[in-house]
Amino acid sequence: MQNQIFQITAHRVGFEFANGLRLFSGLSFSISAGRFGLVGPNGIGKSTLAKILSGIISPSEGEVLCSHPVMYLQQIEDRPEQTVGEFLVDIWESSQLDAVTQESLLGDIPFDRLLPQLSGGEWTRVRIARALALNSGLLILDEPTNNLDKQAKRRIVEFVEGFKGNLLVISHDRELLESMDSILEMSNQGMRSYGGSYSFYEEQRNQEIEQEQATLDQLRREKKKTEKELHSKVQAQEKRMRRGQAIADKGGIPRIMVGGLKRAAQVTMGNINANETARAEQASAQFQSHYASMRTQSSLRLKELGSKVPAEKLIFHAADLNFRYPGSESWLWPDSLNLHMKGSERWAFTGKNGAGKTTLLQMILSKGESPQGETRGELKVGNLKTALIDQEYSLLALDKSVLENIMDVSSNGEEWIRNELAAFQFFADRVHQKAESLSGGEKLKLCLAKVFLSDVVPELLVLDEPTNNLDLQSLEVLEDVLMGYQGALLVVSHDSVFLEKIQTREVCLLQS
């Protein structure tokens, strides 16, 4: 993998499903030595493209030329009933897995442990180690940090930062993408390449979007101007023609002259219609063409949401709180919890998987009634209107439409709801689409709409791993909305960039 003449060239590559649905087309790009990040909205076809590059499937159109074999490590893979050593039995004869890389990936994992007993992060590292030993020119990692806790994510990031081979990483993890040499953006407008880390890509993309929007605004003004000029000239000519007709009706002008003036006026009107209409149509066509060429964006422009919670109002209070699951001999937290949250504070529960973050959320949401187990210490929860957005989007009635979901919580009429849903990018007939058919990002936006278009906006919003499986645009939408939210916020997340963006105070839970 250290071969520095590695090269992939894709020329006008496209893929179409058997039912005729076209996923993408006309993709042209190249990948050489180094670390590349592949980003883009969910559903755009990133994983399908990875399968094409690795030869698992063939493109429907175009061609891909690879100087070396490509290995694709899928996001999810079943675990065989083997030990780590049995799974990795073939890697020791490979020259691709050097001692440093082997230590960073496998150093703390016992080789006699069964694969089903590994954590998500350990399983990912074992799979990467085996893939590296297969003598490919490029390793493609598909969302390698998804659903991992902060420490497990850090191990993957450190491996990527120190790896000397060639990588293509499909990810929405901004911390991981910051380690890339280049970013490839896959959008509705094809593929664009940015020679730098994620922060460089983000800066460049924002500048491009601002320029695209400025050009669109200018073309919109020109379109309106030409339409107004056409309307004014046609009105002025019609006025002259009516005045001429009135003079002719009074008499005093020879009939042959009246006929000549009328024909001249008709010619002038025809020229106005032809020339000015052509100008207006050209301006409209330029506007529509530029609009169609713009990348699809997911930004929401919403006003401040909800109202602030009084500074001293109790959110929850835990005094020497601990919890023990049925049948367990040990308490969940090595040190009992002493926490006090009030007012419009923003807290994030962090810690390893299994540290009890979701359990603590469940205890707060149920005021100590769930989950089943033994509780000691004290837990007080304020009298609050509360909403939960979890990974399964259980807030939604999946068998109902977008519109029906909002009508369940709002007493406002259908016209008002449809107008407000447009701010969440549910336009026209999209409001009649069933919630179960929405993408993850769209379900998130519908959850946000259901929370903030409710007759009573919650004082406390609880989010359990809200960023899992979201594309970068949907992440930005979530961050923008939460920054406009005025109430109290309680979040469980491993995404440190997300927690920093929404300005939370991190409360780390320790695992016993």
pLDDT digit string, tens, across residues 227-259: 677 667 667 666 666 665 665 556 655 555 545
390-409 mean pLDDT: 92
pLDDT digit string, tens, across residues 192-215: 999 999 999 989 888 887 877 777
- Domain 314-508, CATH 3.40.50.300 — does that match? yes
Alpha-carbon gap, residue 408 to 389, rounded angstroms: 17
Q: CA 315 → CA 294, 358, 489, 490, 493, distances in Å? A: 44, 17, 10, 10, 19
Identify the residue whose tokens are 């180690």.
Answer: 129
Contact 390, 465 (CB under 8 A): yes
Contact 420, 445 (CB under 8 A): no
Q: Is 413 helix (H, G, I), strand (E, B) or coil?
A: coil
pLDDT for the residue 352: 82
Alpha-carbon gap, residue 105 to 145, rounded angstroms: 14
Contact 490, 460 (CB under 8 A): yes
Within 8 A by CB and 6+ apart from 233, the residues are 272, 276
Do the first three CATH levels of 8-196 and 314-508 match, i.e. the same topology? yes
Q: Tell me the residue type at 403.
A: L
The answer, yes or no, to whether residue 346 has pLDDT greater than 90, is yes
- Cα separation of the two ends of the chain: 41
**pTM for the model:** 0.66
> Is the link from the previous residue into 69 a cis peptide, with omega within 30 of 0?
no
Contact 488, 331 (CB under 8 A): no
Contact 42, 439 (CB under 8 A): yes
pLDDT for the residue 243: 61
Q: 8-196: which CATH architecture?
A: 3-Layer(aba) Sandwich (3.40)
Report CA 391 to chain centroid distance, whole Å: 14
Identify the residue whose tokens are 């106005």.
Answer: 272
Contact 360, 336 (CB under 8 A): no
Task: List the domain boundaries for the chain.
Answer: 8-196, 206-293, 314-508
Within 8 A by CB and 6+ apart from 282, the residues are 226
The answer, yes or no, to whether residue 503 has pLDDT greater than 60, is yes
283-296 mean pLDDT: 59
Q: Tell me the residue type at 493.
A: S
The answer, yes or no, to whether residue 289 has pLDDT greater than 80, is no
